Structure 1
Amino acid sequence: MKALVATGYGPPEQLSIAQLPVPEPGPGQVLVKIAASSLNPTDAIVVQGGFRELVELAFPYVPGNDFAGRVIEIGAGVTRFAVGDEIFGLSMPRQLDFVADDNRPSLSTGGLAEYAVVEADTPLLALRPASVPAVQAAALGVVGSTALGLMKLGEIKPGYRVLVIGATGGVGTAVIPLLAAAQAQIVATSSTPAGAQILRELGAGEVIGHAPEGYPSDVDVVFNLALYPQALPSAARALKPGGRFVSIIFPEPTPELLGRDDVSLRYYLDPDGRFGTMDDVARAAEKGELSARIAHRFTLDEAVTAAVTYVREKNVGKIVVTM
């Protein structure tokens, strides 16, 4: 089978398309013929050595955790899915098992390939609704579940003023329509006029630049989708006393990192689906309540270009690779 592979640590330009054996499902696993997969920050970070203090990769390494595809073989003991089922979800490459749930880990052989073996018994996989195209479903694993989780952690109410930092990424472009539907007042960040226009079309009432001096000072909730620790105090100053700071960026925020002890800190990390299972994502997508904005589509033969585009360009939404 064809797969996007890293043969060593390095920039996305060093990735390549290689021929690998089709993996075989073991007990509790299914073999999936991948229809589409999408890129996420973890894919870029891990092949550049960003997690080496946690894991040393064995090469060749196949990235990719979001996918949609059809089950073509099942392993012993699998009852949740059957051959022919169209499924989608979030399944991390096995070497990244340190971020997976201990009891029902959602792991795979890597989704940026023609075939992948995935663990069947996990809340982060679901049947794909017939009304949701495979390309859309492949973009929804991470961003769909994260967007639903952010809404729960933010406890959004009508009229809340919400600052979304890093709004043009996959998560931001998925959560802004949810915020708009919840009648929140949305302030979103974008570094480009084109991105700003798209955010307004998605429901943002106000779009500002990334510079912290432009942040408002009266918001009820901050969604941090982009800032690392050194920049958190400037974001925290946007909150009213008693407001909520919700972050998806490692490490988990603390009062010391924010420089404030009068706000509520919440961190989204959900390997066990506490804040949103893939069944929840499927239902919301089927109802038209949740969708992923797709910035670019590439074929598997173009997957190296897809990875370079993901890392080097300012993309508004997700990059999807079709098989």
Structure 2
Amino acid sequence: MKALIFKQYGKADQLTFADLPRPTPKPDEILVQVHAAGLNPIDNMIPKGTFKPILRFQLPATLGSDLAGVVVEVGNLVTRFKPGDEIFASIFDMGTGALAEFAVIPETAAALKPPNLDFVQAASLPMVALTSWQALKERARLKPGQKVFIPAGAGGIGTFAIQLAKYLGAKVGTTTSSGNVDLVRSLGADEVIDYSKQQFETVLRDYDAVLGTIRGDAIEKSLGILKRGSTVVSLVGPPDAAFARARGMNFFMVFLFGMLSRKIIRGAGKRGAEYSFLFVHPDGNQLSQIGEILKAGDIRPVIDKVFPLAQAREALAYLAKGRAKGKVVVRIR
């Protein structure tokens, strides 16, 4: 089978296509013929070695975290799926990749594809959907009437998180460029800050939660818009000691991450807020719940551009520019 792989950590231009043996599912896995793979910023960071201390890959490794496709074989312990089922899944942090013609997936990571979505639409969703769900519903425990700040509203995470927050009954503030104001408003954003004209920290007030999606000092600035008892969930760091312990890291890494997050945790504490770092984990049950929301049409995929598998490297380069409105997807079949 054809797959996009990296053989060593370094520059992203070392990515190459390879012909690999078709994988064989373990007893608790399903083998899926991949129809489409959704791209995420971390797919560009992994080959560079950015997450080498955290994510384990056996090199050479196949890239990609999100996929949608058709089940062609199931392990003898699998009970939820059968050959012919159309599924979507995130296989992030599982040591395997989605940018291939076939992929093996633990049964627990997959969910039936919503029938109203095609494979490209479904493949665009797993990581951003699970990240938004775990951040807003589990960590922030967002309630109807509360206010959540989701910066970069036109990006992959933003376009889904805004819609999920609105589904949960919250009010949403976001930032975007002038050209994307109408897009984020159409997704449900209530307060939209054009970052070329205003600084969000001078406009927004009394927010209950912040979803950290932008590197730099944006998270520290966002502390000023919070009310007491609020929550900051960061997707971009700094990672905290709780994350290191949850990953089973050694004492040194727990200490290091504790020091890295010390300043932001103290700053949040002074505002009566709680800070945590979120590293998304695949969850087929959560994805099934999200699938029901998608099936009902309460949330829609936002896709910027679709590339064929032969142009997967160009798709990753396009994503790396940071200008995509919504998601970038690779069509494989």
Q: Distance in 2 between matches of 1:214 and 1:151?
A: 20
Whether contact under 8 Å (1:224, 1:249) holds in the other structure is no
Any idea what SS the aligned residue of 1:47 has? coil
- Cα deviation for residue 228 of structure 1 reads 4.0
1:165 aligns with 2:148: no
Q: What does 1:1-16 align with in structure 2 at a 5 Å threshold?
A: 1-16=1-16
Asked if structure 1 preserves the Cα contact closer than 8 Å seen for 2:208 and 2:229, the reply is: no
> Cα distance, 1:172 vs. partner?
0.9
Q: TM-score, normalised by structure 1?
A: 0.84
Q: Residue 99 of structure 1 corresponds to which residue in structure 2?
A: none
- The alpha-carbon deviation at position 198 of structure 1 amounts to 1.4
TM-superposition CA deviations, 1:28-78 (whole Å, max 9, x none): 222110011111122111111101223564432211111111111122322
State the distance in 2 between where 1:166 and 1:273 align. 25
Structure 1 residues 32-181: aligned runs within 5 Å: 32-55=32-55, 57-92=57-92, 94-95=94-95, 109-120=96-107, 122=108, 124-152=109-137, 153-181=139-167
Using the alignment, how far apart are the partners of 1:185 and 1:29 within structure 2? 40
Residues 1:256 and 2:259 are matched in the alignment: no
CA pair 237-287 structure 1, distance change in 2 beyond 3 A: same
Measured in 1, the distance between the counterparts of 2:282 and 2:227 equals: 32
Give, in whole Å, the separation in 2 of the partners of 1:143 and 1:266: 18
AA paired with 1:40? Answer: N
SS at match of 1:165: coil
> How many Å apart are 1:249 and its aligned residue?
2.7
Q: Calculate the TM-score normalised by the size of structure 2.
A: 0.82
The alignment of Structure 1 onto Structure 2 pairs a total of residues equal to 306
Separation in 2, partners of 1:175, 1:234: 20
1:195 alignment partner AA? N
1:305 corresponding residue in structure 2: 314
Whole-angstrom CA distance in 1 between matches of 2:282 and 2:322: 32
Indicate if the aligned counterparts of 2:91 and 2:282 stay in contact, CA closer than 8 A.
no
Tell me the equivalent position of 2:331.
322
Corresponding position of 2:299 = 290
The runs of 5 or more residues in structure 2 that have no matched partner are 241-260
Change (3 A) 1:70 1:300: same
> Is the CA contact (8 Å cut-off) linking 1:135 and 1:320 kept in structure 2?
yes
- Contact 1:222–1:235 under 8 Å retained in 2: no
**Contact 1:163/1:219 (<8 A) preserved:** no
Deviation at 1:214, TM superposition (A): 3.3
Q: Give 5+ residue unaligned stretches, structure 1.
A: 96-108
| Aligned twin of 1:17 | 17
SS in 2 for 1:207: strand
Secondary structure in structure 1 of the residue aligned to 2:150: strand
- Cα distance in 1 between the residues matched to 2:98 and 2:64: 4
SS of 1:189's partner is: strand
Q: What SS does structure 2 have at the residue aligned with 1:243?
A: strand
Deviations 1:231-254 (A, max 9, x none): 432111111233222323334466
User: 1:185-242 deviations in whole A, cap 9, x for unaligned?
Assistant: 322112x322233112212233225589432351323433423475432111111233
Residue 305 of structure 2 contacts residue 327 of structure 2 at CA under 8 Å; is this kept in 1? yes
Question: 1:322, CA displacement in angstroms?
Answer: 0.8
Instruction: Indicate if the aligned counterparts of 2:156 and 2:325 stay in contact, CA closer than 8 A.
Output: yes
Q: Is the 8 A contact 2:127 2:280 kept in 1?
A: no
1:103 is matched with: none
**Superposed CA RMSD:** 2.6
- Cα distance in 1 for partners of 2:183, 2:131 equals 20
Please tell me the residue identity of whatever aligns with 2:263: E
Which among 234, 237, 262 is matched to residue 224 of structure 2? 237
| Identity value in percent | 31
